[in-house]
Chains A and B, each alone.
Chain A
Amino acid sequence: MLIALAGNPNTGKSSLFNAITGAHQHIGNWPGVTVEKKEGTITFEGKKITIVDLPGTYSLTAYSLEEVITRNFILEEEPDVVVDVIDATNLERNLYLLTELMELTDRIVIALNMFDEAKKKYKLDVKKMRELLGLPVIPTVAIKDKGIKDLLHACLHGYFKPKKLSYPEDVENRVEKLQRMMENLDLKNKRWHAIKLLENDSEVRKKFANLGRKDILHEAEHLRHEIEDIYGDDIETLIASFRYSFAHGLFHEVAEPLNVGGVTITDMIDHVVAHKIFGLPIFLVVMYLSFEFVFVVAAPFQDAIDLIFNGKTLASGQHINGLIDISYHWMASFMPNWASSFINYGMLRGLAAVLTFTPIIMFLFLILSILEDSGYLARVAFLMDKLMRKIGLEGRGIISLMLGFGCNVPAVMSTRALKNERERELSIALNPLIPCGARIQVFAFITAIFFKHNQALVMWSLILLSMGVVALLGYVYSKTIFKGKAEPFVMELPPYRVPSLKGIFIHMWEKSEGFLRKAGTIIVGAAGIIWLLAALPWGVQFGGENSYIGQIAHFLAPVGAPFGITPESIIALFFGFFAKEVVIDVFYVLYGTKEALFAAMTPLQAYSLLLFILFYTPCVATLATIYNETKSTKFVLFVILEGFALALFFSFLAYTIGSFLGVGG
């Protein structure tokens, strides 16, 4: 048996899906698009039931991907039951989608979700609603697992005799006329097709054009104009009005509002939080505190994982063995050294890198889930929209960019919140230019050595430069390669809610697990390749000047010269591709002490190197994530080229101007 969950965004569909399926779920994409598809299987009353979470939609037009996915799924897969998840606190608007669903299928069960909150707002007559609709209506509270059994029971044994919305006679006549013209077509649900044709629905028109039925299209066009003439408005407004008056009528039949005119808590909070003047400073404080939290909590986990696997090299140069070292020595006792080295210093080190990424991904997603589920994210979108639009993104784009300062991996993953495909791609293309925590760590290390007296100034110059570049590129990209037509931004500002722990943990787990599974293999693979370049020909110092990478760096030395970049730096950059913070370790290995590093470069060369590190290719984990999110190798190559182009440009500029002026030399 197949059950599909449909409903407006934010009605608790995902919560209901989680409540029904528990841990038995699978997340993927809808074929060919990046809209998430969730599927789960359960056994209820001895029956195997598959449940699909459809994308949240307000209507079923042909204008958005989500809406087309939803209606095609219902038309083509013919689920046994469609559960319309309705936010009972917002009944009237939610009933609009129901009128559309009822035109698609008869087998609908209504989940009257958020019933706990709705009870405070209205007196609801569920029984009357059942009678008026002729469909099962089940009150549910998804976050408290309430009403789930009743809901499933209704799906299996419900009584479906829907009392459908009928349009005024002038319209019904014309629908029937079109239906009659379709009589000999092999087409399910002719009434729905007829209505959609009258509505001038582009997808359905295409379908009829493909069937070679121009006659039906012409007739529909003619009938549409007749209706528009009779009622004196455009067909879309008319049809929407008919549906809404049904929703409006039903709503007032079953809901008796309590305490009209009262001020809600949400309104009071928004009075401050979404305030014209206070809103932005509050947002900055919230983000700052969130980051503090993430770093304070995640850092010990990351350090611990790093210590356990990689051990530690003390300032004195003495090395304390980690798991990888221990495992290397153990394996070397029964297999060739090179094999043990490959397994441990290649693959296992890759795995360790994947694991060290995990805490920060988990905690950033923890924050993101809290922001989203509490309703604050929608306020951020509201506050930031005008500003972000200048760089071609909607207000929510700010979140992905800011997460980038933590780690580009979850930041890129978080672009899913952007509904618009073009904006998502733009956001992904800009994200790696934001210096992540690891890069900032490297900056701190290098600036502390070379710019003792104005470290803060140099750090800020890098961060501000990256923000300037993101703003400028965003502006240029949105006018050129990521140009698109305006899409509706119309967004709901849901009431503030205390997020449910379960929802947050499921979200956190989904994202981290997705990263480990999908990006993990790519990262471990890359670690293997890096080992090959650094350890071969066998017998050389790992990453030393005789290794392949050392030879490449030597070969590239003339290329680095105009930028003031030394062969040792090239080796460090090469390892930094794997994970940016590794640059620090490599410098230690190559130079031994900070003093030696200080002696090896002028401050100008160091600054040029910093600029290079700021922009050159994102790390493997970020690239793997970008690939997962876009499924496009071309896009990944684009991001790499973009990074190198900026890195070369700015290093060259800084080094040339600096040399010319004779500063920092």
Chain B
Amino acid sequence: MKLSELMPGETGVVTKVAGTGAIHRRLLAMGILPGTVIRVARLSPFGDPIEYEIRGVFISLRKSEADYVEIDRIIPLHMVPAGEKVRVMILDGGVNFIRNMGSIGISPGKIIEILSPCCPMRVRTALGEHYVGKGEAYRIYVR
């Protein structure tokens, strides 16, 4: 789906940045790239432009610009209620973070089950039951 179709509060991961020329290059330079996590912060009074949060920064994009960006909808783990089974999509952190999460069975593609809600969260992975803290749950994205 297109980034412009995402609703306020929802999160997506970029799959493609289409287009050519200045706008395309500017989007890339701002760090909107395949794999980037992006959240809709709020709409302006006329619904255009839209404010997004990306890499910890708030930016405003016109709808026509957000139309260039293809995304998949994802959910930050801390927002998932207990009892759900979800697939891990993105770990938004450095190598240490990715390694630590991998060691408890949380890595992209894996299915995990939420046992108790955030935070800390109790989850069941292929490697058993584990606690996930707030600092981590906010950086794990699932679907």
Binding site for B on A (CB under 8 A): 58-59, 61, 63-64, 90, 92-93, 96, 233, 236-237, 240-241, 244, 248-249, 251-253, 257, 259-261, 266-267, 270, 274-277, 279-280, 378, 381-383, 385-387, 395, 486-493
Contact = CB atoms under 8 A, between A and B. Distances in A.
B56 interface: yes
Contact of A490 (B16, B61, B78, B135): B61
Contact of B22 (A251, A277, A487, A493): A487
B97 A252 contact: yes
Contact of A252 (B29, B49, B61, B93): B93
B57 A260 contact: no
Contacts of A251: 94
B45 A237 contact: no
Contacts of A259: 135
Interface of B: 16-17, 21-31, 33-35, 41-49, 51, 55-62, 64-65, 78, 93-97, 134-135, 137-139
B60 A382 contact: yes
A266 B25 CA distance: 28
Chain B interface, DSSP helix/strand/loop, else mixed: mixed
A486 B95 contact: no
B39 to A, nearest CB: 11
Contact of A253 (B23, B31, B57, B94): B94
Contact of B25 (A59, A249, A378, A493): A59
Contacts of B137: 261
Contact of B44 (A266, A386, A490): A386
Contacts of B49: 382, 385-386, 395, 489
Contacts of A59: 25-26, 28-29
A270 B51 CA distance: 11
23 contacts: A59-B25, A61-B29, A93-B55, A236-B25, A236-B28, A240-B33, A241-B33, A241-B35, A248-B94, A261-B78, A261-B137, A276-B45, A277-B45, A280-B45, A385-B60, A386-B48, A488-B26, A488-B65, A489-B60, A490-B26, A490-B27, A493-B58, A493-B59
A61 B25 contact: yes
Given A240-B29, A488-B26, A489-B62, A385 B44 contact: yes
Contacts of B33: 237, 240-241, 244
A128 to B, nearest CB: 12
Nearest to A261: B138
A261 B95 contact: no
Contacts of A58: 26, 29-30
Contacts of B16: 233, 237
